[in-house]
Structure 1
């Protein structure tokens, strides 16, 4: 039985994705989450999920940060990005960060079903109208390097990194995650080493590069 997770904060669009998935895949179990935290909880509770349909903009996830989190914490799960931001550069960056395909929110039910089937068959999928433009763009070494570094982090280290990006101090992070402050310090040291940065400012800059508003610089 195929298991899918739809992570999108718009109920009507979740319903459309659910219908397309159930009509295109036999014996399909579909779960839903309205934010990144819910998606991560579902994945942690159900490691047999085959595919995540991920909205790039929802609570807890802006730009490519949610995709980077999912790929870092659950590298064995395929991710189809779903977004209204369907510029070729955005699609290219999503692929560079490990997405198996990209579904514009303007896609028809037939296209959504085709995308789901292709990715479940271990393939990839891009909207026909964008495929040529995206294919002409080489993978960006900056995004490839960033994706590689983020993939080195453990699940807890990525949580700590996200809170560092919010400007929280070690004690505040410890309180938020219900862990000891010395444990946070150990995580921060490991994060800096794995990301190749020297301080919180550099780590924050690295996180902000996942914002899609930064796409024009690449």
Structure 2
């Protein structure tokens, strides 16, 4: 396949990122590849790359909180095809990935031939999911819709909340007032339909998956 695709690889493991980098160069001739090792780095990169054609996303990176990272990206960039590449290959994980709006799922155990075939399929505009690994999960759909309603700043606040930071610490990290954080908290609780910090964190954790 000859192309000038802009492809972003988002994975926090340097060795796997490098292996994927080499594999894509073999599978997609002439592709422009970009790399990110955290959600913050990825969000900054997406803004710099001229119309990215594909994002290859690991579920577990700093700042992504598993499935919630995918949901946030899907909400912010609805037109960007996102294909999850993960070592978590259970049918429940694949089903969640699909229900949260991913364009495909490629197991990290895939060999070069399988990776090549999957990449060509998604770049040709057709979703790719392993056969026989899709289940219906209405509960996850409802959770993803709630999380997708958060603004980027609210999502970041929720992630810090999940990491155990206090309002004062979050305000310092984001360089805003504590009153601003409290306002964000109120909006987050309302959108997620929860009453307190603990319930918000539990809701977020329901979307996390094991690496």
TM-score, length-normalised on structure 1? Answer: 0.86
2:72 to 69, 75, 79: 69
1:126 aligns to what SS in structure 2? coil
Give CA deviations for 1:109-163 in whole Å, capped at 9, x if unaligned: 2221222222223321123xxx12x24x22x111101111111111111101111
Give CA deviations for 1:3-56 in whole Å, capped at 9, x if unaligned: 111011222322232233233334321001122222122123336222111112
Q: Contact between 1:72 and 1:155, CA under 8 Å: does it hold in 2?
A: no
Distance in 1, matches of 2:157 and 2:19, equals 34
Mapping 1:159-198, distance limit 5 Å: 159-198=156-195
Mapping 1:59-208, distance limit 5 Å: 59-127=62-130, 131-132=131-132, 134-135=133-134, 137-138=135-136, 140-208=137-205
Unpaired segments of 5 or more residues in structure 2?
Answer: none
Distance in 2, matches of 1:189 and 1:10, equals 35
Q: Contact between 1:65 and 1:211, CA under 8 Å: does it hold in 2?
A: yes
Q: Contact between 2:65 and 2:159, CA under 8 Å: does it hold in 1?
A: no
Unpaired segments of 5 or more residues in structure 1?
Answer: 214-218
Distance in 2, matches of 1:210 and 1:121, equals 30
**Equivalent residue for 1:31?**
34
User: 2:48 aligned with 1:45, yes or no?
Assistant: yes
Give CA deviations for 1:83-106 in whole Å, capped at 9, x if unaligned: 111111111111112221111111
Distance in 2, matches of 1:81 and 1:170, equals 32
2:101 aligns to what SS in structure 1? coil
**Residues 8-17 or 148-157, more deviating:** 8-17
How far off its partner does 1:62 sit? 4.5
2:22 to 19, 23, 26: 19
CA RMSD of aligned residues (A): 1.9
Distance in 2, matches of 1:44 and 1:198, equals 34
Distance in 1, matches of 2:9 and 2:165, equals 30
TM-score, length-normalised on structure 2? Answer: 0.88
